Amino acid sequence: VTALFASFSAPVAAASIAQVHRAELIKNGETIPVAVKVLRPGIEGRFKRDLETFFFAARLAEARDPEARRLRLVATVETLARSVTMEMDLRLEAAALSELSENTKDDPDFRAPKVDWEHTARTVLTTQWIDGIPLNDRERLRTAGHDFVRLSKVILQSFLRQAIRDGFFHADMHPGNLFIDAQGNLVAVDCGIMGRLGLKERRFLAEILYGFITKDWYRTAQIHFEAGYVPAHHSIEDFAQAIRAIGEPIHDRPAHEISMAKLLTLLFEVTSLFDMRTRPELLLLQKTMVVVEGVARTLDPQLDMWGTAEPVVREWIERHLGPIGRIENAA
């Protein structure tokens, strides 16, 4: 199912939904550089035709194959359709940028450009111009003296904070959408594709990751049942055994060889044995985690994914599943 997202992202990139131009606004005699994003004419019709093809293929597959029904291909394409619809209205992207900026305003090493609402409409988005080095320009980053090891941790932890803490994350974090400013902050642009997780999904993600970090296989299995992702007629103990089969080999390997994205892929493969159906709300998360891990490892091939993720995951669990969180949930 994740491959379906990947296959769709190729035509999305090739189509280049919009063009971005540098411009200048004059306010109160002051010249302000801005980025102006303009939707390409006719792009909506092109994506409508593409989506109709995806829906046809998904419905045909579900009609003929029980495994396709378990994978919920039609629901997956519906998730894609919602994402594309939001990309076609730049006012929605502006709102996403504004929400992302508000959520991360106190983060020490991440920011998003401010929106100029006065010059934003359905087909035009105007934001603060970012003076920074693209993350894919490694030579300029090296010349500017940026620490690649630190940047790799910032990328991973920023994504996890957004996903677990805020439940609203940038779902298109490829290097072309990421810049490093003069202060060493990570700046994310192009919020056309965003992911949103409810409290249940955030708890699921946090406890799954923490369970693998601490080797608590039973709790990792239990959270699948509590979330309703695995049917109750299955045995928690059997499911914990299956998860242990994935997790134990990982802990015997050097930290830099462990792939969090590959782990989640293996986990979802195992869940098919226990009739776990595809969760469309988790697809963007899984796809983005694959991209984020890849980007982080290009900067630091020795990156310890678990050691980097642990502080963010532990902080959320202590805050929301500890005594204070339980009292708030009860209230």
Buried b (16+ CB within 10 A) or exposed e, 191-209: bbbbbbbeeebbbbbbbbb
Active site residue 106: no
Which residues lie below 8 Å from residue 270, measured CB to CB, with a gap of 6+? 242, 243, 245, 246
At residue 251, φ and ψ (nearest 5 deg) are -75, -10
- Three-class SS of residue 32? strand
**Distance (Å, whole) CA 131 – CA 113:** 10
- Three-class SS of residue 216? coil
**Distance (Å, whole) CA 278 – CA 156:** 25
Let me know how many helices (H) and strands (E) the chain has, helices first: 14, 9
At residue 190, φ and ψ (nearest 5 deg) are 60, 75
**Distance (Å, whole) CA 161 – CA 180:** 18
Which residues lie below 8 Å from residue 175, measured CB to CB, with a gap of 6+? 134, 135, 136, 295, 298
Active-site residue identified among 50, 65, 172, 216:
172
Q: Quick count: other Cβ atoms within 10 Å of Cβ 54?
A: 19
Q: What is the dihedral of CA 58, 62, 66, 67, to 10 degrees?
A: 10
Angle of helix 323-330 relative to helix 305-321, nearest 10 degrees? 50
**Distance (Å, whole) CA 260 – CA 209:** 9
Regarding beta strands 18-27 and 178-181, do their DSSP bridges make them parallel or antiparallel, or are they unpaired?
A: unpaired
Catalytic residues: 172
